[in-house]
Amino acid sequence: MPDGTPVSHTDYERPSQARGRGEYSTLITYDEHRQKTGFGSVASRFDSGIELTHPAPDIEALRQTTHLTGQLHQYNRDRSDREWPYANDGTTLYDLTVLDVMEKALAVEDLSPDSLDVPTRRFKVVFLKNARQPATHKGFYEYILDSDPVLTELGYSGASDLPGYETLRVASEDKLPSELSDVEQNAFDAAVIRAVYAVYRNGIAVPATVGDAYGFEAVTPPLSERSVRRTDKKTALRNWVRLLFEETTHPLTFHRSRPRTDFQQYIGVFAASALYGCGVQAVADVADYNYPRDNIPKGSGIGKYIRSDALPLNDPQAALANTENQTITAQFDAVHRATLQLADKRGFFAEPRSLAVDLYRIEWTGVENDVTINRPPKSENDTRSEWTYAVLGIIDTEARFTLGTRWLPDKSKYPSAVTELTPVVVDFVDVEALYADSEMVSGALIDAFRKIAGSNWAVRAPNHTVIKQLKSFTPENHTGYVPAVAWKTSPKPAAVSYSYDSSNPSLIEFTARDLKQADPGDIEDQTNIFDFTGTEASAEDLPATLTEQFDDPASLSGVGDTSTHAAYLTDRSLPERSGGGIHFPYYQRWAIEETMNQISNDFMPMINSSNEKLRLYGVNISILLQNWHTLINRAPSPELALRLDVTHQELLRAIEDVAFSDPA
């Protein structure tokens, strides 16, 4: 059972019999959470813990912390159970402490028996009865009739002094309620609830009927969120959204001189667009069924502000416009950093993390122009033009944050885009490894990888000649290794081929010269390198490395077949680092595909514009919300410390609700 968030508690409603001064701290004990498998130590990822003070501001706030009350109860019960004057079994001790805190609870609700035309003893009896939640009045009467300490506290000298059964029934069920106004009755009921919570959180057992009615039994430690009210989980999610609005979105601005709309409302529009699958201009007509229309910004204004010359896309556009206004790229860099700072405070980057770089594309069916990148069509009617973005993210499941993105107006910008994202890595992440696929791997891109990860990078090698040679000449169940291959960068990277169906493969080290001298011709058109000769292979057909190590290398399975091995470029050296240590971790790279699927399909607002600024804005908004989703599902919620399991639809709905219900 994981221990997690600390709770610091100050209690001004303590029973006089309780131990200590009412100021103490404890750790929340959580039950295992099956949905969090693979997310790491979720329970321990808190910022500064929870601070509770009682009396609570209102009854709803008190009920929202029922799960925390259960933790306080267990802590106080463990340290005080042997010190009570009566058995802690939900009977006499409970009754006496309820009556002890009654006046404090009434004072919070601004109600006093002295101001009411109700006999004090009768008032106390009714208060205790409500606090015990008896099944029947007869049972309650017989119970207190048999408890001298309780009778004394109620003001009766003994059982003979207690009014008769019917007299007490009429007094508790008819007279007292009729003698209170509606306001006074509500205050009375609230005071009873406050008293029950005060007694329970101080370690005193409650009657079974009370435990069931108040939900105390369900939240007995260790805490399982399955037992927490749905309304409290919704509150916890709203708390997250409010915190994230407050802590991460301040850098966003349209550079308007007198903005009348808070930016969280604009984010609400984007979230609603993603949730309902409608354009931002249509959001008001959808959302005003639930929210005042005045709280919902017009979508047409958003497009106008983003397209405005006052909001440049990036530094080159800002220089061209001769403006010092912060660019879209710079604003979102700051926003993503703010989110990562929250994650950093919660320990997400305490350990080295694995990263991946990939290209994210959005098909463009409009007129082809110079702001999209064309790819070869897969079919006659296939879309060729794509909005293309470089994306850098963490691929470890427990910290799957996207670190940033850059728009690529053309392929040559890929290396510089990755380089621009390097500072955020330096500031937040110790890099375990960096992975990328084989697309557009140039020497300049490798240089960018080195700036981020040093020598701890690996990419799937493009099928250049030297790579085809390496795969072709590496036998099955062997790892091929070339310490240096020419790739328009210095130092030259290494190339590694790893057998797909292999266990503990042996290492064969080639040189690029070896492979080149033994070049078998067009490897792509062959299954075996000797198919084109029609004759037995001679030693000259093979690299010297093979002929030196094997008696009959041409007969080895896999030799001449490029499909048996995966190939990688890396700065890692073998045998100091195993080939398997490159091959198998590389497949973790696919996690960034899942991230990009979230960005594309879960959080992306509906933007079909041909304007590159609107497109980049939408992608960054989606990354912002994806990062929020990652954080929310991997750390205890603020104020309530609940481990939430939130779908993307729930998050979008909560963002809309906070943005349009309580705009700043």
- Distance (Å) of CA 511 to CA 7, 494, 531: 62, 10, 24
Q: What are phi and psi of 347, to 5 degrees?
A: 85, 15
pLDDT digits (tens, 9 = 90+) for 371-385: 677 665 655 555 567
What value does the mean pLDDT take over residues 612-620?
96
Check if the beta carbon of residue 110 is closer than 8 Å to that of residue 119. no
Q: How many Cβ atoms from other residues are within 10 Å of residue 529's Cβ?
A: 23
Residue 244 pLDDT > 80 = yes
Residue 465 pLDDT > 70 = yes
Counting Cα atoms < 13 Å in the Cβ hemisphere of 591 gives 21
Residue 527 pLDDT > 60 = no
Q: What's the distance, CA 257 to chain centroid?
A: 35
Domain with 38, as residue range(s), is: 3-227
For residue 151, being part of any structural domain is answered with yes
- Residue 407's nearest CA partner among 591, 623, 620 is 620
| Cα torsion through 190, 192, 195, 197, rounded to 10 | -70
For residue 335, being part of any structural domain is answered with no
Q: How many Cβ atoms from other residues are within 10 Å of residue 409's Cβ?
A: 13
Check if the beta carbon of residue 401 is closer than 8 Å to that of residue 355. no
- Exposure string for 292-329, b = 16+ CB within 10 A, e = fewer: eeebbbebebbbebbeeeebbbbeebbeeeeeebbbbb
Residue 119 pLDDT > 90 = no
Residues 410 and 545 in one domain: no
> Which pair of tokens denotes residue 519?
């070049």
Residue 467 pLDDT > 70 = yes
Higher local confidence (pLDDT), 539 or 265: 265
Residue 17 pLDDT > 90 = no
Angle at which helices 612-632 and 263-276 cross, to 10°: 90
- What pLDDT was estimated at residue 531? 46
- Distance (Å) of CA 336 to CA 113, 201, 218, 343, 427: 56, 40, 39, 11, 12
- Band of pLDDT at residue 398, cut at 50, 70 and 90: very high
In this structure, of 151-155, 264-268, 284-288, 531-535, the range with the lowest mean pLDDT score is 531-535
Q: What are phi and psi of 337, to 5 degrees?
A: -60, -40
| Cα torsion through 91, 92, 98, 102, rounded to 10 | 140
Residues 50 and 189 in one domain: yes
What value does the mean pLDDT take over residues 85-112?
96
In angstroms, how far is the first alpha carbon of the chain from the final one? Answer: 40
> Which pair of tokens denotes residue 310?
């006052």
Residues 465 and 585 in one domain: no
d(CA 542, CA 520): 8
Q: How many Cβ atoms from other residues are within 10 Å of residue 410's Cβ?
A: 12
Partners of 23 in beta bridges: 10
Residues counted in the chain: 664
What value does the mean pLDDT take over residues 261-273?
96
CA angle at residue 251 from 311 to 307, to 5 degrees? 20
What value does the mean pLDDT take over residues 332-336?
98
Residue 402 pLDDT > 50 = yes
Q: What proportion of the chain, given as a percentage, has pLDDT over 90?
A: 76
- What pLDDT was estimated at residue 180? 87
d(CA 393, CA 591): 9
Q: What is the number of structural domains in the chain? A: 4
Q: Where are the alpha helices (DSSP H) in 250-361?
A: 263-276, 283-287, 299-307, 315-321, 328-345
What value does the mean pLDDT take over residues 189-200?
98
Residues 164 and 49 in one domain: yes
Check if the beta carbon of residue 460 is closer than 8 Å to that of residue 566. yes
Check if the beta carbon of residue 506 is closer than 8 Å to that of residue 475. no
Residue 539 pLDDT > 60 = no
What value does the mean pLDDT take over residues 242-255?
97
10, containing H or E segment? strand 3-11
For residue 344, being part of any structural domain is answered with no
Average pLDDT value for the chain: 91
509, containing H or E segment? strand 506-509
Residues 443 and 470 in one domain: no
For residue 575, being part of any structural domain is answered with no
In this structure, of 64-78, 115-129, 386-400, the range with the lowest mean pLDDT score is 115-129
**Pairing mode, strands 385-394 and 373-374:** antiparallel
What value does the mean pLDDT take over residues 358-372?
74
d(CA 49, CA 7): 6
> Which pair of tokens denotes residue 372?
């999209």
For residue 337, being part of any structural domain is answered with no
Angle at which helices 230-248 and 328-345 cross, to 10°: 130
Q: Where are the alpha helices (DSSP H) in 8-160?
A: 59-64, 66-80, 92-108, 120-132, 137-145, 148-154
Q: How many Cβ atoms from other residues are within 10 Å of residue 105's Cβ?
A: 26
Q: What's the distance, CA 339 to chain centroid?
A: 11
Residue 218 pLDDT > 90 = yes
Check if the beta carbon of residue 622 is closer than 8 Å to that of residue 244. no
For residue 251, being part of any structural domain is answered with yes
d(CA 370, CA 67): 57
Residues 166 and 269 in one domain: no
Q: How many Cβ atoms from other residues are within 10 Å of residue 242's Cβ?
A: 17
Partners of 25 in beta bridges: 8
In this structure, of 97-101, 123-127, 163-167, 368-372, the range with the lowest mean pLDDT score is 368-372
What value does the mean pLDDT take over residues 59-68?
97
Collapsing DSSP to helix, strand or coil, 347 comes out as coil
- Residue 191's nearest CA partner among 119, 101, 121 is 101
Residue 155 pLDDT > 60 = yes
Residues 100 and 113 in one domain: yes
Residues 489 and 527 in one domain: yes
- Band of pLDDT at residue 536, cut at 50, 70 and 90: very low
- Residue 147's nearest CA partner among 120, 131, 128, 166 is 128
Residues 407 and 482 in one domain: no
For residue 338, being part of any structural domain is answered with no
Q: How many helices (H) and strands (E) does the chain have?
A: 26, 13
d(CA 91, CA 98): 11
d(CA 339, CA 631): 9
For residue 342, being part of any structural domain is answered with no
- What pLDDT was estimated at residue 501? 82
Check if the beta carbon of residue 295 is closer than 8 Å to that of residue 663. yes
Residues 403 and 443 in one domain: yes
Reduce the secondary structure of 381-435 to three states and give it as a string: CCCCEEEEEEEEEECCHHHCCEEEEEECCCHHHHHHHHHHCHHHHHHHCCEEEEE
- Band of pLDDT at residue 470, cut at 50, 70 and 90: very high
Check if the beta carbon of residue 2 is closer than 8 Å to that of residue 30. yes
What value does the mean pLDDT take over residues 204-222?
96
In this structure, of 97-101, 175-179, 406-410, the range with the lowest mean pLDDT score is 175-179
Collapsing DSSP to helix, strand or coil, 247 comes out as helix
Residues 421 and 502 in one domain: no
Residues 90 and 190 in one domain: yes
- What pLDDT was estimated at residue 529? 46
pLDDT digits (tens, 9 = 90+) for 277-318: 999 999 999 999 999 999 999 999 999 999 999 999 999 999
Higher local confidence (pLDDT), 19 or 182: 182
